[in-house]
Amino acid sequence: MLYGKRLRGLSIAAFVTLTAGIALAFFYAPMDADQGFMQKIFYVHVPLAMVALGGFVFGGAMAIQHLRTRDPRYDLRSYVAIHLSLILGAGVLITGSIWARASWGHWWVWDEPTLVSFLIVFLLYATYQPLRFSIDDPEKQARYASVFAITAGAFVPLNFLAVRLAQAYTHPRVFATANGGLPARMQVAFYVMLVGMALLYATLWKYEMASKSTSWQLRRLRAKLAGEESAAPRGRSAAPSLPTTT
């Protein structure tokens, strides 16, 4: 599969959408009555969290496909998805701490279920790579990593549901309407930023997949050339041939 196909168009779409989302958040969406300007971090923090959690679930789905088909490409897709979600997850924790400092006067509040639950998910997935690379055998490594990704991926929606059911404490409020929903102008900025974050994730995923796929093809080519050279009679050179691209 050619992961670099249409990558330029996807990159431009991500850049344009994120730029538009930031402009809408700062210049179009109204200022929050309680939190003022600091509420603007909501337009980055929440889309980051939603896309990161979605990436974890996507990694679990790819892991299921790997166990079902034993195709190493699905294992690679799962690995890259989880790797990128961890990077976004770090951004979620940083922006969440900044928001907590502005809202509550503390960088972290341990009795706030939304922050703590995301930290638990993040720390759970932080063990993915150490677990994976502690196993030398490639097939066993991929199999164990897939089991981990599926189990942790199933935990993500369960954890989200548990947080939604928790009523003792609440996340910083950004809702200003009587019915509890976002005002129309805030909705526009939020959904544009959400789409932009999703496009950014997809772009980074395709970039990393293209890079790793190219490296894999080069390793296959070098191994094939080395094998042909060792099998060629002395005094003659083996004619190299490209491996089949899948």
Mean of pLDDT values over 148-159: 89
Q: Which residues contact 36 (CB under 8 A, 6 or more apart)?
A: none
Position 239 confidence tier, pLDDT thresholds 50, 70, 90: very low
pLDDT over 70, % of the chain: 82
With bands split at pLDDT 50, 70 and 90, how would you rate the model's confidence at 122? Answer: very high
- For residue 16, pLDDT over 80 is answered with yes
Chain-centre distance of CA 224, in angstroms?
A: 34
Residue 230 lies in a domain: no
pLDDT category, 182, cuts 50, 70, 90? confident
Q: Is residue 203 part of a domain?
A: yes
Q: Judge whether 229 lies within some domain.
A: no
Is residue 235's pLDDT more than 50?
no
- Residue 165's pLDDT is what? 67
- Does pLDDT of 32 surpass 80? no
Cα gap 190→199, rounded to integer Å = 14
What pLDDT is attached to residue 230? 58
Q: Is residue 235 part of a domain?
A: no
Residue 126 to residue 134: CA distance in whole angstroms: 14
pLDDT at residue 13 in the model: 94
Is 244 inside any structural domain?
no
Q: For residues 79 and 74, give the distance between their C-alpha atoms in angstroms, rounded to a whole number.
A: 9
Q: Tell me how many domains the chain contains.
A: 1
d(Cα 205, Cα 62) in Å, to the nearest integer? 13
DSSP bridge pairs for 36: 32
Residue range 136-150: mean pLDDT, rounded: 91
Confirm whether 189 is domain-assigned.
Answer: yes
Residue 246 domain-assigned (yes or no): no
Average pLDDT, the chain: 81
d(CA 195, CA 180): 22
Q: What is the pLDDT of residues 67-119, one digit of tens each?
A: 999 898 899 999 999 999 999 999 999 998 888 888 777 788 787 777 888 89
Cβ neighbour number for residue 10 with a 10 Å cutoff: 17
Write phi, then psi, for 32 (nearest 5 degrees). Answer: -70, 140
Q: How confident is the model at residue 177 (pLDDT cuts 50, 70, 90)?
A: very low
Would you say residue 70 lies in a domain?
Answer: yes
Other beta carbons within 10 Å of 105: 8
Q: How far apart are CA 73 and CA 209, in angstroms?
A: 10
3-state SS, residue 84: helix
Q: Which domain, by its residues, includes 169?
A: 7-212
